[in-house]
Amino acid sequence: MIKVGVLGARGRVGVEVCKAVEAASDLELVAALDKDDSIEGLAGAEVVVDFTHPDVVMGNLRWAIGHGIHPVVGTTGFDAARLDTVRGWLADSPGTGALIAPNFGIAAVLMMHFAQQAARYFESVEIVELHHPNKADAPSGTARRTAELVAEARAKAGAGAMPDATSTALDGARGADVDGVRVHAVRLAGLIAHQEVLLGGDGETLTIRHDTMSRAAFTPGVLLGVRRVRELPGLTVGLEALLDL
Ligand SMILES: NC(=O)C1=CN([C@@H]2O[C@H](COP(=O)(O)OP(=O)(O)OC[C@H]3O[C@@H](n4cnc5c(N)ncnc54)[C@H](OP(=O)(O)O)[C@@H]3O)[C@@H](O)[C@H]2O)C=CC1
Ligand SMILES: O=C(O)C1=N[C@H](C(=O)O)C[C@H](O)C1
């Protein structure tokens, strides 16, 4: 049995993660903590799942890694500097592994992978992410990561800058620039999490779309991470590393 703690246990995703851990015969939920609970309640856990908030996740990670507890992190808001900081903490705690994934949905990971594969064949790539209006960060972690993967694929293929004649625009009209890829964030009541990657070339376009219909969609990926993270010392970024794509 793997002893699992959950941070953000009363949140939208945390509730689903707790249910999934409790339903798994090889996992034991030993701590289900939320905002006002002491993190010391994680003592005894081997793996901690974090679905909290970008403002608190670094403190949680520091504590968990410092106590040799392997984190599986869904919370977003990670940039290169934050990831480097986590790598530093892991270096001081040999044998501890951490998995940080901007999206634990298998279909979402495939959408990112397909976008990365397609990127080098098109002159233009833009990303539109659409989420529920209670989301703290924009653009989403998934969109940011997709843009990084697309930019990396284009750079590797020697692709130049994308065509764009815009010479006058209202602030934000062209979205955020992530490594040269434009990312547009929509916040709309009624939505959960959705993304379109738009690719355009000479006389044709390709749209790769992903829709999250239920937050239970994240739990198989989270459980995969929980089962594997202890075998992966150091930092692993993205669930794709565990999917043999
Ligand atoms: N990687 C992935 O696949 C996915 C990632 N996410 C990300 O996960 C994060 C959480 O999303 P979501 O569940 O929708 O958010 P919610 O706001 O519904 O849940 C977060 C929970 O964490 C609680 N919390 C805040 N601070 C702490 C703390 N220090 N310790 C423990 N709990 C705390 C919140 O309490 P309170 O409400 O009182 O502040 C809340 O109950 C976001 O960053 C989101 O982008 C979401 C879906 C999938
Ligand atoms: O906040 C959310 O809801 C989600 N957050 C993640 C992100 O920022 O990419 C994953 C998914 O999009 C849902």
Distance CA(46)–CA(44), nearest Å, equals 7
Q: Is the CB of 195 under 6 A from ligand 1?
A: no
Ligand 2 neighbours by CB, cut-off 6 Å: 76, 102-103, 131, 135, 140-142, 193
Take atom 5 of ligand 2 and give the residue whose Cα is closest.
Answer: 140
Q: Is the CB of 75 under 6 A from ligand 1?
A: yes
Q: Is the CB of 74 under 6 A from ligand 1?
A: yes
Which residues belong to the annotated binding site for NAD(+)? Answer: 8-13, 34, 74-76, 101-104
Please name every residue paired with 234 in a beta bridge, in sequence order, or none if there are none.
97
CA of residue 165 to ligand 2 center, whole Å: 32
Minimum-distance ligand to the CA of 51? Answer: 1
Take atom 3 of ligand 2 and give the residue whose Cα is closest.
Answer: 193
pLDDT of residue 14: 98
pLDDT of residue 60: 98
Please name every residue paired with 176 in a beta bridge, in sequence order, or none if there are none.
183
SS3 content of the chain, % helix, strand, coil (to 5): 35, 25, 35
The yes/no answer to whether this complex scores an ipTM above 0.90 is yes
Please name every residue paired with 64 in a beta bridge, in sequence order, or none if there are none.
none
Atom of ligand 2 nearest to the CA of 131: 3
Distance CA(48)–CA(207), nearest Å, equals 36
The helix/strand/coil state of 157 is: coil
pLDDT of residue 137: 96
Position of tokens 């999934």? Answer: 20
∠ CA 222-227-230, nearest 5°, is 115
**Probe ligand 2: pick from 78, 128, 142, max atoms within 8 Å of CB?**
142
pLDDT of residue 155: 97
Distance CA(43)–CA(40), nearest Å, equals 6
Q: CB pairs under 8 A, 24+ apart, for 117-120?
A: 117/153, 118/197, 118/199, 118/206, 118/208, 119/149, 119/150, 119/153, 119/154, 119/157, 119/159, 119/199, 120/153, 120/154, 120/156, 120/157, 120/159
Atom of ligand 1 nearest to the CA of 221: 3
Per-residue pLDDT of the chain (245 residues; tens, 9 = 90+): 999 999 999 999 999 999 999 999 999 999 999 999 999 999 999 999 999 999 999 999 999 999 999 999 999 999 999 999 999 999 999 999 999 999 999 999 999 999 999 999 999 999 999 999 999 999 999 999 999 999 999 999 999 999 999 999 999 999 999 999 999 999 999 999 999 999 999 999 999 999 999 999 999 999 999 999 999 999 999 999 999 89
Catalytic residues: 131, 135
CA of residue 11 to ligand 1 center, whole Å: 5
CA of residue 193 to ligand 2 center, whole Å: 6
pLDDT of residue 11: 98
Q: Is the CB of 33 under 6 A from ligand 1?
A: yes
